[in-house]
Structure 1
Amino acid sequence: MKAFPMFIRTTGRRVVIVGGGEQAAQKARLLLKTDAVLVLVAAALEDELQALVQDGRATLVTKLTPQVFTDAAMAFIGTGCPGLDAAAHALARAAHCPVNVVDQPDLCDMTTPAIVDRDPIVVAIGSEGTAPVLTRDIKTRLEEMLPQTLGGLAALAGRLRPAVERRVPRARRRAFWAWAFKGDPRQAWVRGQESDAARTLKAAIAAGGPPERVTAGQISLVGAGPGARDLLTLRAVERLQEADVIFYDRLVDAEVLGLARRDAERVFVGKHVGAHAWPQDRINHMIVAAARKGQRVVRLKSGDPGIFGRATEELDAARRAGVAVELVPGVTAASAAGAMLGRSLTERNVADTLVLTTGTGCASDPAPDSTRHSGPGTTTAFYMGVRHARRLACDLMQKGLPANAPVDIACDISKPGERHIATTLGTLADTLDRNDVTGCAVMLVTWPKPCAERSLQGPGLAEVEPLAKKDAMCL
């Protein structure tokens, strides 16, 4: 950031506006939303500004001097004359007054953001002067999202805060406010039932906290997607911002964790193949124990928690303990790989079936039959299959897929170091070794239908030809 966003107190403070025309009027309209003492500096005022002076909402100074800026909270300059603007800017700077000069970003100590006003809730959107049209578009979207009455609920919360601090134990306050702003009280308020919402809040304060069902701990198994934080769902972001403790995997990107509440506890529970410092039973125990303490627990998993994420074991552990649990889906690696390649994973007359499978098994089944569903008309996405690429390629060729069939290898999808490597089935294992691909990769293999009107083409790859004999690597 080249500018630090902050809110400046205006109560009992002077704000100077230099200019008497439309530019000055625009700034005055903005400042009228505050309780600042407005000082207009101009030889003459247009009608709108003159009315502010007559109504006592602003005072008029007809002569521009350095003293007018002394002890002012800030100044806005918009005379319409570049020379006069520059002179006023110099006087304001000499008085050490922060200044904004209309349409002259090089002379601005501060810029005016686009504002969504739900007083006392105020959202300010800025672009450091680079993209005002974009900031206005964001403002429009926020105006649509935030109910007009939302500020009234925040104001009520401010009036009730002393009572909450007296009557609600510290350990239950976060849950109380989460319920107030996201539960039944808010829903009643935005429906226009302000009195009902207020009575509900006051009853909960008198009872020492929100309803018991609100303070009970819960577990959310949240999909972090393939890496990029803007691929998270809105619900995933919401759960991260609510969480008291987050248990996360080794493949979860640091930028995703950056979306969490700053004071949330973060616990790394990553596992590598063959290294189980955090065995699954221990993870199950930890997340359930945290939820039993009344904490909001997020179990953050890369991709989608329901796809090769051992979610069933964690769901079962929570349910056996009587803890509320939910699944928040994420963008799985195969979908992200298709998006990275700019192609669909299914295609009419080519592949009407999508197979998600893993090349890695468990102790009781170390080499699963990962290709059993592959065949003409399928696209197979192999997860965790890099170490088993030679076996997988051999299995596919024995089933009838030719050695020159194209394979797409997608590595570190949506992360800064993402890579796409195009190869063929017969050279897959050697390609992985040559490119030092060792872990986080998805391999996509499309086996077109015999009736496909066109053969599947990978970047720089030849057409798929019928398999005349088994590839030498399988013999």
Structure 2
Amino acid sequence: MKAFPMFVRTTGRRVVIVGGGEQAAQKARLMLKTDAQLVLVAETLEDELKGLVDEGRAVHTHCLGVAVFDDAAMAFVGTGCPGLDAAAHALAKAARCPVNVVDQPDLCDLTTPAIVDRDPLVVAIGSEGTSPVLTRDIKTRLEQMLPQNIGGLAALAGRLRPSVNARVPREQRRALWAWVFKRGPRDAWIRGQERDTARAIKAAIEAGAPPKDAAAGHICLVGAGPGARDLLTLRAVERLQEADVIFYDRLVDEEVLELARRDAERVFVGKHVGAHSWPQDRISQIIVAEATKGRRVVRLKSGDPGIFGRATEEMDAAHEAGIPVELVPGVTAATAAGAALGTSLTQRDVSDVLILATASGCASDPDLDATRHSGPGTTTAIYMGVHHSARLASELMAKGLAADTPVQVAVQVSKPGQMLVNATLGTLAETLEAGQVKGCALIVVKWPKSRAMEGSVANFAS
């Protein structure tokens, strides 16, 4: 290493920033994450820095001399003038103050790392100035991995540490902290159950050991989105990386699974229309069985679990078994299709109602009336409708929608095999058959408020 990474205490100390423009403002934004007193040295300040002074978050001085750097934790120089930067650097060195000069690495005692801030948990990434793009990429990955509220759990642990030292026998402390940070309390805290988590930790401290049921598992139903892994939510990625076992189906892309922990067990529970090798009740039973072993179970579902995802059955099974269950929403196929088609699913004065419907039901009700709510002023997004396309078109035309109304179909949306198909209502079934469109496709029909809006319908198809 050519630079040693360490954390510099800022409490009760000054950080000097020389400059009054954007370069100085950038460093001020970084230092605002700390509790240091900021000293801004410049003749004039731009508006953002003036605001910091007005709020009492910084002080402003016009005097640039050795004294301003005395006993400062560090200094940043960014005046925009190379000569003035060099002079400020010399003054800081005379005061033996570590200094960073913007865009002049030869004048830097310090370099600023990429920071992942979960105060008081902080991760700093540096490459000694060799690869800033790489450090930013690593920062992005860590931002995805670390829950936004995990710092609060670390802070709580810090406040409770004296109580642990006083009440928990030494031989039980490691087990207690492992329980807090690796099992139930951490999972519950991340889910937003912070008050209940704090109570549970305090109860364990009073008892002098983690609870006997510390290995209790839980189930998380996670929306995998339409296919592209970068459409997953940060919370979905977090749950994948925490999971001990992941149950997934055929609609989940392999790239999404690559975001999971390497040592997580993966179980395929694929279901095909008309060929349910894994019936729903069996899936519900097995995810509950795994959770009762104390495992963190993720049921990974395409799109959003709460939209035609059979989430209710699995949540009911978990509740009946007394297993905690969480629902993590995902990007559903309808919104992804709208993005792929380059159109808004709703449009003022044309379509102010969005209908999400499915054309495929269960064995007792296989042919659902997916168009029953369609009418003037609506956009209907029909899931699992390719097999029923002729019937759907007939139903819409029977309601009064013209045969030449544009219809768009998004196939394998956001996946490598994505295909966008244009048709009319009257030719929908023939177009899908000619294009050999099957399976994972979404049919979008926009019905304007009146026939006077036909120009807008044409625009939808363009």
User: Please, what TM-score do these two structures have when normalized by structure 1?
Assistant: 0.62
Q: Over residues 402-459 of structure 1, what are the superposed CA-to-partner deviations in whole Å (9 max), with x where a residue is unaligned?
A: 1111011111222233222221111112221222221211010111122654533346
Q: Quick one: distance in 2 between partners of 1:386 and 1:165?
A: 64
1:15-37 per-position Cα deviation (integer Å, ceiling 9, x unaligned) = xxxxxxxxxxx9xxxxx99xxxx
For residues 7 and 384 of structure 1, the distance between their equivalents in structure 2, rounded to whole angstroms, comes to: 58
Distance in 2 (CA, whole Å) between partners of 1:164 and 1:437 is 65
Structure 1 residue 125, shift from structure 2 partner: 6.3
Distance between the aligned counterparts of 2:441 and 2:434, measured in 1?
Answer: 15
Give the aligned residue type for 2:369.
D
Q: How does 1:356-395 map to 2 (within 5 A)?
A: 356-395=356-395
Residues 270-281 of structure 1: matches in 2 within 5 Å? 270-281=270-281
Deviations 1:302-358 (A, max 9, x none): 111111111121122122222222322211111111122232212222222222111
> 183, 205, 225: which is aligned to 1:203?
205
Q: By how many angstroms is 1:202 displaced?
A: 8.3
Number of the residue aligned with 1:348: 348
Shift of 1:366: 2.2
For 1:171 and 1:276, the matched residues in 2 are separated by: 44
What amino acid does structure 1 have at the position aligned with 2:217? G
Helix, strand or coil at the partner of 1:387: helix
- Structure 1: distance between partners of 2:236 and 2:365: 33
Q: Distance in 2 between matches of 1:165 and 1:410?
A: 60
CA distance in 2, matches of 1:412, 1:137: 31
Stretch moving more, 452-461 or 431-440: 452-461
Identity percentage of aligned residues: 52
Q: Is the aligned partner of 1:250 residue 2:250?
A: yes
Distance of aligned partners of 1:428 and 1:165 in 2 relative to their CA distance in 1, 3 Å threshold = farther
Matched residues in 1 for 2:328 and 2:445: separation?
28
Distance 2:396 2:235 in 1: 39
**Deviations 1:170-223 (CA, angstroms, capped at 9, x unpaired):** 8994665345656679x99x99xxxx99x949828941x2584x6432212111
Query: Do the aligned residues in 1 keep the contact of 2:116 with 2:139 (CA within 8 Å)?
Result: no
SS of 2:356 mapped into structure 1: strand
Instruction: Give the conservation status (yes or no) of the 8 Å contact 1:121–1:151.
Output: no
Structure 1 residue 149, shift from structure 2 partner: 8.9
Do the aligned partners of residues 264 and 455 (structure 1) sit closer, same or farther apart at CA in structure 2, a change above 3 Å counting?
A: same
Question: What letter is aligned with 2:205?
Answer: A
The answer to whether the 8 A contact 1:180-1:201 is kept is no
- 1:58-97 alignment runs, 5 A limit: none
Aligned counterpart, 2:20? none
User: Deviations for 1:97-125, whole angstroms, at most 9, x for unmatched residues?
Assistant: xxxx99xxxxxxxx985345879843316
1:428-439 map, 5 Å: 428-439=428-439
User: Cα–Cα, structure 1 residues 312 and 7, in superposed 2: closer, same or farther, change >3 Å?
Assistant: farther
Deviations 1:205-261 (CA, angstroms, capped at 9, x unpaired): 941x2584x643221211111112232233322322222211112111222222222
CA-CA distance at 1:460 after TM superposition: 9.2
Report the 3-state secondary structure (helix = DSSP H, G, I; strand = E; otherwise coil) of the residue aligned with 2:246: strand
Equivalent residue, structure 1, for 2:83: none
CA contact (8 A) 1:252 1:302 kept: yes
8 A Cα contact 1:349 1:452, kept in partner = no
CA root-mean-square deviation: 5.0
Q: Match for 1:124: what amino acid?
A: I
Q: How does 1:7-86 map onto structure 2 within 5 Å?
A: 46=90, 48-49=92-93
Q: What SS does structure 1 have at the residue aligned with 2:423?
A: strand
Counterpart position of 2:401: 401
- The aligned counterpart of 1:413 is 413
For 1:390 and 1:242, locate their aligned partners in 2 and report how far apart those are by CA, in whole Å.
45
Note closer, same or farther for the CA distance 1:451–1:399 as it changes in structure 2 (3 Å cut): closer
Tell me, yes or no, if structure 1 residue 167 matches structure 2 residue 169: no
Query: Is this contact kept in 1: 2:125–2:135, CA < 8 A?
Result: no
Matched residue, 1:177:
182
Q: Is the counterpart of residue 124 in structure 1 residue 129 in structure 2?
A: no
Map 1:257-336; keep pairs closer than 5 Å: 257-336=257-336
Q: Secondary structure of 2:455's match?
A: coil
- Structure 1: runs of 5 or more not aligned: 1-5, 12-25, 27-31, 34-44, 58-76, 81-100, 103-110, 463-475
Task: Tell me the CA shift for residue 360 of structure 1.
Answer: 1.6
Offset from partner CA, 1:82-141 (integer Å, 9 cap, x none)? xxxxxxxxxxxxxxxxxxx99xxxxxxxx98534587984331679646599789979x9
Paired AA for residue 434 in structure 2: R
SS of the counterpart of 2:331?
A: coil
Higher mean C-alpha deviation, range 148-157 or range 450-459: 148-157
Correspondence for 1:338? 338
**Residues in 2 aligned to 1:205 and 1:427: alpha-carbon distance in whole angstroms:** 71
Matches within 5 A, 1:86-235: 113-115=113-115, 121-124=122-125, 129=131, 131=133, 166-167=171-172, 173=178, 176-178=181-183, 200=202, 203=205, 206-207=208-209, 209=210, 212=213, 215-235=215-235
Distance 1:330 1:347 in 2: 23
In the TM superposition, what is the alpha-carbon distance from 1:284 to its structure 2 partner? 0.8
How far apart are the structure 2 equivalents of 1:323 and 1:146? 23
Post-superposition Cα deviations, 1:142-178, rounded to whole Å, max 9, x if no partner, equal 9xx68999887899999999x9995379899466534
- Which deviations, in whole Å up to 9, do the C-alpha atoms of 1:271-319 show, x marking residues without a partner? 1112222111110110110111122211110111111111121122122
Distance in 1 between the 2:273 and 2:334 partners?
Answer: 20
Q: Distance in 2 between matches of 1:227 and 1:128?
A: 35
CA 1:202 to 1:314, structure 2 compared with 1: closer, same or farther past 3 Å? closer
Q: What is the alpha-carbon distance in structure 1 between the residues aligned to residue 138 and residue 438 of structure 2?
A: 46
Asked if the contact 2:410/2:443 (under 8 Å) is kept, the reply is yes
Residues 405, 119 of structure 1: CA spacing in aligned structure 2 closer, same or farther, 3 A cutoff?
closer
Residues 114 and 135 in structure 2, CA contact (< 8 A), matched pair in contact too: no
Q: Distance in 2 between matches of 1:298 and 1:342?
A: 32
CA shift digits 1:370-404 (9 cap, x unpaired): 22222222211111111221221122222221111
Equivalent AA in structure 2 for residue 123 of structure 1: A
Say whether the 8 Å CA contact 2:448–2:454 is kept in structure 1. no
